[in-house]
Amino acid sequence: MQALCWSLDLFNAFDACVWAACCCAFWGLMRFGEVTVRSRADFSPNTHLTWGNAHLLTDEKGSPYIHLDLPHAKAADPGKGQSVYISTGGDLCAQAALANLAKVVPGKRDNPLFSWRDNHGSIHPLTWSSALARINSILSSLGWGNAFGHSFRIGCASYLLSQGVSLEIVCIAGRWCSLAYEV
C-alpha cells in the first residue's frame, strides 16, 4: 500500500480515485468489485457506492470513522445492502484519501464515490480493469507480482491477524459468511 501511495500522483484525478478505492478496499476488507464497476455504463446508484453513501462519523470516544452504506453486496440478502466501517488515521488513511478525492474530483451526492473527471470535465466511475491496470503497472515497475480483485481484502485480513486482531473480529469486519478466509 505504501508503494502505491508513493507511486500515484494524488493531484491527478484518476490516480486520486484509484488511491481512495485502494484505501477503502483495504481497510474496509472490501471486495474490489464493491469500489469499482465492470464498465462505465454499468454504474447505478442503486447498486454502486455514491458520495451520498459515504459518511464521516465519530464514535463515543470521539474517534472518527468512515461508514459506507453498500447499496448491494455479494453476501447480502437480495435487495439488501451492507455497511462497512473503516477506522481512520495513520499514513494510509482512507479518510485522507477520500478527502483528497473530494478535493481533486468534487462530486455531487448521486455521483459515483470512486470516480474521476477527464480533461473535458466528464465524470467516469472507476472500472475494475482500469484500476487494476494502473495498480499492476506500478507493481510491475517495482518488480513485484500482480494484484487481483481480492488482494486488498485478503491483504488487510492478513495484516490485522499479524497485528493480533482476533479472527472473529476480522471475520465480522470482512463480512465473511463462510470459512473461505481459512484457506
Of 147, 119, 137, 138, the closest CA to residue 36 belongs to: 147
166 vs 97: CA distance, rounded Å: 27
Range of the domain at 18: 2-182
3-state helix, strand and coil shares in percent for the chain, rounded to the nearest 5: 40, 15, 45
Number of domains present in the structure of the chain: 1
128 vs 182: CA distance, rounded Å: 26
Taking only the tens of pLDDT, the chain with its 183 residues reads 899 999 999 999 999 999 999 999 988 888 899 999 999 999 999 999 999 999 999 999 999 999 999 887 666 566 677 888 998 888 899 999 999 999 999 989 999 999 999 999 999 999 999 999 999 999 999 999 887 877 887 776 778 788 787 777 777 666 676 665 555
Provide the pLDDT for residue 136: 95
Of 127, 152, 116, 121, the closest CA to residue 17 belongs to: 116
**Residue 178 maps to which CATH number?**
1.10.443.10
